[in-house]
């Protein structure tokens, strides 16, 4: 068993669970209750954001399953290639997250308060070093 890949697998599982359940509760804080929104534009945008949120939840679940299959089975023929793709995938998520913080309006300690990029880089690094 590969310890860095196992740790990445545990982190993706925890991220999936927190993102799906705790994150959805946090999203509800922004749920529109404006009864004057006759065309439901705010409700539509909020629902679209929620769908996007859980799209990421599914990505985390799928990565968790993939890493679990790599850790505990011989399901894949070329695990190394898949691991490299996952490493780049999580690196890409980290870059996009950080760039979004850069182009957004600043607030105190925004890079730490929105520090998911750190987790994404950690997962990417663990997978990368686990393949070598």
What does the pLDDT look like over 77-119, one tens digit per residue?
999 999 999 999 999 999 999 999 999 999 999 889 999 999 9
Q: What is the pLDDT of residue 132?
A: 83
Q: What is the extent of the structural domain holding 118?
A: 3-32+40-131
5 pLDDT band, cuts 50/70/90, is very high
In the predicted structure, residue 2 carries a pLDDT above the cut 80: yes
The domain tally of the chain equals 1
Q: What is the pLDDT of residue 39?
A: 74
Stated pTM of the model: 0.91
Residue count of the chain: 132
In the predicted structure, residue 129 carries a pLDDT above the cut 80: yes
DSSP helix/strand/coil, 109: coil
Burial class (CB in 10 A: 0-12, 13-18, 19+), 109: exposed
Q: For 25-80, how does the pLDDT look when each residue is reduced to its tens digit (9 = 90+)?
A: 999 998 888 777 777 888 899 999 999 999 999 999 999 999 999 999 999 999 99
Q: What is the pLDDT of residue 36?
A: 78
CB-CB neighbours of 130 under 10 Å: 22
């Amino acid at each position: 068993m590969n310890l860095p890949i196992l740790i990445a697998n545990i982190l993706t599982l925890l991220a999936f669970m927190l993102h799906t359940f705790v994150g959805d509760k946090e999203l509800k804080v922004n749920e529109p209750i404006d009864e004057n929104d006759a065309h439901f534009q705010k409700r539509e945008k909020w629902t679209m954001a929620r769908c996007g949120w859980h799209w990421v939840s599914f990505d985390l679940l799928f990565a968790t399953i993939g890493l679990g299959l790599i850790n505990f089975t011989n399901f894949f023929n070329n695990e190394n290639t898949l691991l490299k793709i996952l490493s780049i995938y999580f690196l890409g998520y980290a870059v996009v997250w950080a760039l979004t913080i850069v182009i957004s309006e600043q607030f105190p300690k925004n890079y730490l308060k929105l520090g998911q990029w750190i987790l994404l880089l950690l997962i990417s690094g663990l997978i990368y070093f686990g393949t070598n």
